[in-house]
Structure 1
Amino acid sequence: MDNYAWQCDKYLPECMNYVFSNRLFSDVTILVGSTADREEVHAHKLVLMARSPVFHACFKGPLAVKEQLVITDIEKGIFEEFLRWDRYNVCQSLGPWWLDGFLYTDSITLSMENVTSILYCSRKYCVDKLTLKCEDFMENKIDAENVFGIMEEAHNFGLTNLRDKCVKFLVQNTKESLLSESFTYICRQCVRTVLTMDSLSISEEMLFEHTLRWAEAECKRRNIPNTDRNKRHVLGDNVTLIRFPAMSSSYFQQKVASGEFLGADEVIDVFLHNFSKDDGESRVSTFFEVSSRSYQPVLRFRKTLRERQSTDDKNDIAFESSIPAILHGLCVYTPKEDSEIQVVSIEVFDHRKSSIASVNNHFFEHSERKIHDVFLPQAIRLVPNKRYTISTRNSFSVKSFYGSRGKQTVQFGKGVISFYNAALTETSDSEDDWNWYRANTTVDKGQIAGLLLS
């Protein structure tokens, strides 16, 4: 008998690979592929049923397939890769662990070319461990060119964590990402995801221009004329998420009001809001959100220093805004060394000392900028002349940058942001207080470099 005792020098994944590649003990033949290119794949019911509840239902129970199992929505190459792709015989020189294919060997090599198809297989056959592998792979590959493609896949497959990672990336990389061609190919629901974001590093005017670019592409896909009314039609109720009152008056008048994209009552509503701003008031719009989602850093230190030993003690700072503002997040100092990371947790308290926002275990590393932006899950509307407190706690004791010669007030738009020493205890309002003296962060020094406001 050829290859007698082939099992002796192999680990389990190698044995499974050998069995599959040589069709040993195969007890099921599956037809895979479209009608024109359908091919046979020989497999083992025990393995398939042990790894997938869907395959279990196909072979056992009241829903079992009576005839030969046919899979028309997956190509043979992808299906074999999903089971156990035969690279072993071709690439034996790379060593016995050059094994791919998840159901048989619990291992798979993912790439941007195959991950979507493999993800489809894992979702169809309820192989959750493989779904997590695909999700982790795509999360680590997110960049400005593919973030919208990955967001679309996250939407299609219901991967909310992956979608949230894409949203987080977009907050700080909005301009570069919207310039990518992939933005014009996403579905209307994903456009809605972008337009519902409270924090974006782009002006409302530019966001509107890119939204129109998507609408033009959608008109072309639907083979309808590229008119203002048709662009509004394909966007649907996403139009109400565009913040026209946050645009400059001149841009709105020249680029929006002069066309047919908005109705007359909507145009009048935005004009009335703009007039109220000119009069020093802020009229609420009937149709649109009026606050800007384009944030800017408000930094409070005149000097950045090195070599501070950060601890897990809390860092607290209190502040007030003299005008209505939106808090998107805060700026913290990064570790000094390239190889070091920090994990920070953040809590925001209102003037009644009630917690109104939090961020748990946010990872970041050294940056040439020396400052890292941390965004809140949802932006917070700040009430003028009400005191808010930000509290952070670092998980690791690492040498980091820190600020000194802090400013008590910083100009912000037509108003002022004022900073105060946070009350670490009920009686720590005085500069002579020992708790204030030993605090890691005060008005004059500390780890919290500034705020992200609009």
Structure 2
Amino acid sequence: MLEEEEEVAGAAPRSGARAAVEPGVGAGRAPGSGLGQAAPSPLCNWQAAQCSVRERFAFLFNNELLSDVHFAVGKGPGAQRLPAHRFVLAVGSAVFDAMFNGGMATSSAEVELPDVEPAAFLALLRFLYSDEVQIGPETVMTTLYTAKKYAVPALEAHCVEFLTKHLRADNAFMLLTQARLFDEPQLANLCLDTIDRNITDAITAEGFTDVDLDTLCAVLERDTLSIREIRLFAGVVRWAEAECQRQRLPPTPRNKQKVLGKAVGLVRFPLMTIEEFAAGPAQSGILSDREVVNLFLHFTLNPKPRVEYIDRPRSCLRGKECSINRFQQVECRWGYSGTSDKIRFSVTRRVSIIGFGLYGSIHGPTDYQVNVQIIENDNATIGQNDTGFCCDGSANTFRVMFKEPVEILPNIVYTACATLKGPDSHYGTKGLRKVLYESPSTGINTSFVFFNVLGNNNGTSVEDGQIPEIIFYT
């Protein structure tokens, strides 16, 4: 939620709050005259106590003195009747100018505004009379609406500035909805940037499930979300459950699919691992049986059959690409028989791994088929890709990339896995147990520590084997 109330005050003294209770109090006027009582006599010379034009107009804010129009603002028990001055309003707003002076001008002494909140209208009047901005978390959106309704762009700008200052991950979706509703592209872009960087926190915030479907889709379309697709899908399901409740529908898989509509097609299921897909979307009932089968075929077959879902990675990376090589020497002849090469590792700082560098053929230019994976705690596959690469017969490494960045947290042991189909290749020797990467721009060190994998791993170890290179972003 937004934080405490904030004021942006002009040079005029704070008279608005008092004037609402004791309008017209000033030098030469007996205190205690209430709203609706007779205006004081000119003999009171209230003007002499106000030292500038600004102060004199600020004195007239919410004051019966000299008022020539009243507004019945709001509806129900909270409605208020507020005095105003046609000239002041017309000077500050083209809408009021047309209302009082245009060809369709009203001559009525009272104008009804049932769609405007009294607190927001008072904020608008205060600004028109004194340039004083008084907005808070509870009134900023209604004040923005009122400023737009009466074409007061300076007050609009103050509202947007207030919202921007208080923008956080936990209210970014709520503010994005409002920014789209009020056509505030600058605020909307700031909200989207915040969501990109903090999407995990944003979709778990209370206000996320309250957004409308178009806003949800506007976020799901983005290539810049920094989140694993399976976590994004979980947030989408949570939104669908809330929408079913709003529409008074049982939260069945069929109804969730119905309320999500086009949003389902914006989830990038091909970016998930087959394990993530099988444990989540495949059992959710949100996808049809045909869609589930097609996606399983996409995960398991090569070449991959076409699916209707986007398989483009979300470009959520920031920073410079880095890599480390764990071997000091390259030798010849490493064979493959369907067994995976594996090496365990941990890091000292959070990184995002985007791929491996692998050795290629000793027999000249060759194509390889390869499955690469990163496994956490020996059981959960958190990144994978079935792909291929071409090598030129040299002892260089060749890039094999994941579908999306794989977040690697410090002091957790992961397993890097590569299953190659192809002829004998080069391999690395004189391996290092610890490889230090020092960023040339920041000087910050990131250490990779390697461990042997127990069991059948095609011979790869800390000392020898495949998977020489890890490509990552810090």
Interval containing the TM-score (normalised by the shorter chain): 0.5 to 0.7
TM-superposed CA distance for 1:14, in Å, is: 1.7
CA distance in 1, matches of 2:278, 2:243: 25
Secondary structure in structure 2 of the residue aligned to 1:31:
strand
1:223-275: CA deviations, max 9, x gaps?
A: 10101111111111111101111111122123222342112332233122212
Q: 1:414 to 1:61 in 2, by over 3 A?
A: closer
Aligned to 1:432: none
Aligned to 2:199: 174
Aligned to 1:71: 113
TM-superposed CA distance for 1:184, in Å, is: 0.7
Q: Residue 300 of structure 1: which of 311, 322, 338 is its match?
A: 322
Q: 1:230 to 1:19 in 2, by over 3 A?
A: same
CA distance in 2, matches of 1:10, 1:200: 55
Does the CA contact (< 8 Å) of 1:83 and 1:103 recur in 2?
yes
Secondary structure in structure 2 of the residue aligned to 1:109:
strand
Aligned to 2:83: 42
Secondary structure in structure 1 of the residue aligned to 2:61:
helix
1:296-335: CA deviations, max 9, x gaps?
A: 5664388xxxxxxxxxxxxxxxxxx999xxxxxxxxxxxx
Does the CA contact (< 8 Å) of 2:133 and 2:158 recur in 1?
no
CA distance in 1, matches of 2:230, 2:217: 17
Correspondence 1:304-323 to 2 at 5 A:
none
1:96-130: CA deviations, max 9, x gaps?
A: xxxxxx11111212221211111011111111111
> How many aligned positions are there?
308
CA distance in 1, matches of 2:181, 2:472: 32
Of residues 51-60 and 217-226 in structure 1, the stretch that sits farther from structure 2 once superposed is 51-60
CA distance in 2, matches of 1:259, 1:301: 38
1:336-374: CA deviations, max 9, x gaps?
A: xxxxxxxxxxxxxxxxxxxxxxxxxxxxxxxxxxxxxxx
Q: Which runs of 5+ in 2 are unaligned?
A: 1-27, 30-43, 325-354, 358-388, 391-395, 404-437, 445-470
Secondary structure in structure 2 of the residue aligned to 1:258:
helix
CA distance in 2, matches of 1:244, 1:268: 12
CA distance in 1, matches of 2:315, 2:46: 68
Q: 1:35 to 1:259 in 2, by over 3 A?
A: closer
Secondary structure in structure 2 of the residue aligned to 1:29:
strand
TM-superposed CA distance for 1:283, in Å, is: 4.6
Of residues 237-246 and 251-260 in structure 1, the stretch that sits farther from structure 2 once superposed is 251-260
Q: 1:216 to 1:5 in 2, by over 3 A?
A: closer
Aligned to 2:152: 127
Q: Which runs of 5+ in 1 are unaligned?
A: 85-101, 303-320, 324-383, 386-407, 416-442
Q: What amino acid maps onto 2:312 in structure 1?
A: S
Say what the alpha-carbon RMSD is for the aligned residues. 3.4
Q: Residue 27 of structure 1: which of 62, 65, 68 is its match?
A: 68
Q: Residue 271 of structure 1: which of 267, 292, 296 is its match?
A: 296
TM-superposed CA distance for 1:60, in Å, is: 2.2
Does the CA contact (< 8 Å) of 2:356 and 2:400 recur in 1?
no
Q: Residue 211 of structure 2: which of 166, 183, 186 is its match?
A: 186
Q: 1:43 to 1:452 in 2, by over 3 A?
A: farther
Q: What amino acid maps onto 2:65 in structure 1?
A: L
Per the normalisation by structure 1, the TM-score is 0.61
Q: 1:257 to 1:13 in 2, by over 3 A?
A: same
Does the CA contact (< 8 Å) of 2:173 and 2:207 recur in 1?
yes
Does the CA contact (< 8 Å) of 2:95 and 2:151 recur in 1?
yes
TM-superposed CA distance for 1:22, in Å, is: 3.9
- Quote the sequence identity (%): 30
CA distance in 2, matches of 1:283, 1:111: 55
Aligned to 1:438: none
Per the normalisation by structure 2, the TM-score is 0.58
Aligned to 1:253: 278
CA distance in 1, matches of 2:72, 2:118: 9
TM-superposed CA distance for 1:209, in Å, is: 0.3
Does the CA contact (< 8 Å) of 1:295 and 1:452 recur in 2?
no
CA distance in 1, matches of 2:100, 2:289: 62
Aligned to 2:103: 62
Does the CA contact (< 8 Å) of 1:300 and 1:410 recur in 2?
no
Does the CA contact (< 8 Å) of 1:204 and 1:293 recur in 2?
no
Does the CA contact (< 8 Å) of 2:68 and 2:84 recur in 1?
yes
Secondary structure in structure 2 of the residue aligned to 1:42:
strand
Are residues 1:236 and 2:258 paired?
A: no
Aligned to 2:33: none
Q: 1:63 to 1:36 in 2, by over 3 A?
A: farther
CA distance in 2, matches of 1:62, 1:45: 16
Are residues 1:289 and 2:310 paired?
A: yes
Q: 1:207 to 1:66 in 2, by over 3 A?
A: same
TM-superposed CA distance for 1:81, in Å, is: 2.1
Q: 1:5 to 1:65 in 2, by over 3 A?
A: closer
Secondary structure in structure 2 of the residue aligned to 1:145:
helix
